[in-house]
């Protein structure tokens, strides 16, 4: 038997597509890439359209914590992806909807982008903290003298990617979280964003979340993948059935783990973060094995090649 994950072949793909009615697509590394995420991955647009023509419901699910649902809808239209607005679920949107559903009525201290704050404000919640922050004078004295500028109305710390993150924000977040009733919410725990064409990556939101978890000695409640919050929302709103759902993702520890934990079918695409070698060298630890997909493709566009083949055969395997 071929080592898992296996290179997807035409027969397996056709069989799988005949059994599912819903497709979940990650965005960065699956549909687009690049500095601003404006470089469409070849044939991803056509692949999405083919899936819709086949009658599949298509949803975009992204852990990117910097943009609103409205932004992603506009971006999809600009890049030529035909997706309904309510079929786009981002981690800021999930965080906002979660706070709304639990009846949260205090202020939220945001360590994150204006987009994250905007999404939360849309559900009627006041936010503070976005942008640069500086605590004047010696920090030790500021703590002792109660001059940290803490807002007594804050009832949640919400953390995403924040280019203005610094020690002062870390300190304020830690102080807010000393109150056990203060919610600690993270949009996502992705630790890197690949810089295409280089050996480098950008540290992502997960690095900031890790720092605040360590400083506050509290775990965050994670909204994005691999948390099942998106899954539960899709179930409640669209009657999603996991056994009839196929997920395409580029990251083992978020996308593929999310799909497997939800009971969905999952396919790893090698156009983003995780490599085939990483998938095949996962430790035998049962928790790590939950990140293992059954199949992989070089990119989402390969489904077009497979579906259009006249004879059986898989996409050429390449070590990535």
Residue 28 assigned to a binding site: yes
Q: Which of 9, 11, 28, 105 is catalytic?
A: 28
Residue whose entry in the numeric block shows the structure tokens 């909807």: 97
Is 308 labelled as part of a ligand binding site?
no
CA 5, 242, 229, 289 dihedral sign is negative
One of 26, 168, 190, 302 is an active-site residue; which one? 26
Distances (CA, A) of 155 to 151, 177, 263: 9, 9, 34
- Is 9 annotated as contributing to ligand binding? no
Tell me how far apart the alpha carbons of residues 153 and 282 are, in angstroms, rounded to a whole number. Answer: 45
The strands making up 6-7's β-sheet, listed across from edge to edge, are: 6-7, 295-297, 265-269, 245-249, 22-25, 57-62, 88-90
Active site residue 26: yes
The kind and range of the H/E element at 276 are helix 276-280
Q: Is 250 annotated as a binding residue?
A: yes
Rounded Cα–Cα distance for residues 66 and 130 (Å) = 12
Binding residues for Mg(2+): 26, 28, 250
Binding residues for substrate: 225
Binding residues: 26, 28, 225, 250
Q: Which residues are catalytic?
A: 26, 28
């Amino acid at each position: 038997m071929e080592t898992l994950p296996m290179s997807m072949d035409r027969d397996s793909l056709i069989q799988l597509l005949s059994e599912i009615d819903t497709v979940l697509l990650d965005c960065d590394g699956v549909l687009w890439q690049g500095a601003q995420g404006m470089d469409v991955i070849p044939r991803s647009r056509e692949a999405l359209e083919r899936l819709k023509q086949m009658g599949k419901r298509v949803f975009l699910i992204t852990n990117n914590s910097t943009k609103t649902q409205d932004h992603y809808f506009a971006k999809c239209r600009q890049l030529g992806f035909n997706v309904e607005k309510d079929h786009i679920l981002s981690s800021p949107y999930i965080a906002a909807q979660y706070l709304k559903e639990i009846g949260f009525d205090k202020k939220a201290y945001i360590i994150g982008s204006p987009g994250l704050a905007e999404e939360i404000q849309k559900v009627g919640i006041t936010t503070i903290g976005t942008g640069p922050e500086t605590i004047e004078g010696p920090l030790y004295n500021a703590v002792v003298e109660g001059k940290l500028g803490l807002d007594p109305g804050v009832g949640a710390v919400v953390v995403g990617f924040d280019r203005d993150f610094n020690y002062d924000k870390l300190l304020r977040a830690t102080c807010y979280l000393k109150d056990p009733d203060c919610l600690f919410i993270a949009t996502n725990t992705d630790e890197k964003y690949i810089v295409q064409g280089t050996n480098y990556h950008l540290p992502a939101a997960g690095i900031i979340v890790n720092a605040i978890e360590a400083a506050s000695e509290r775990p965050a409640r994670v909204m994005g993948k691999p948390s099942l919050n998106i899954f539960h929302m899709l179930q409640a709103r669209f009657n999603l059935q996991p056994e009839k759902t196929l997920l395409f993702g580029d990251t083992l520890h978020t996308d593929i783990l999310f799909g497997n934990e939800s009971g969905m079918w999952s396919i790893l695409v090698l156009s983003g973060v995780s490599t085939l070698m990483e998938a095949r060298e996962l430790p035998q630890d049962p928790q790590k094995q939950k990140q293992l997909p059954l199949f992989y493709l070089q990119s989402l566009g390969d489904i077009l090649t497979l579906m259009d083949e006249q004879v059986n055969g898989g996409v050429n395997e390449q070590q990535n």
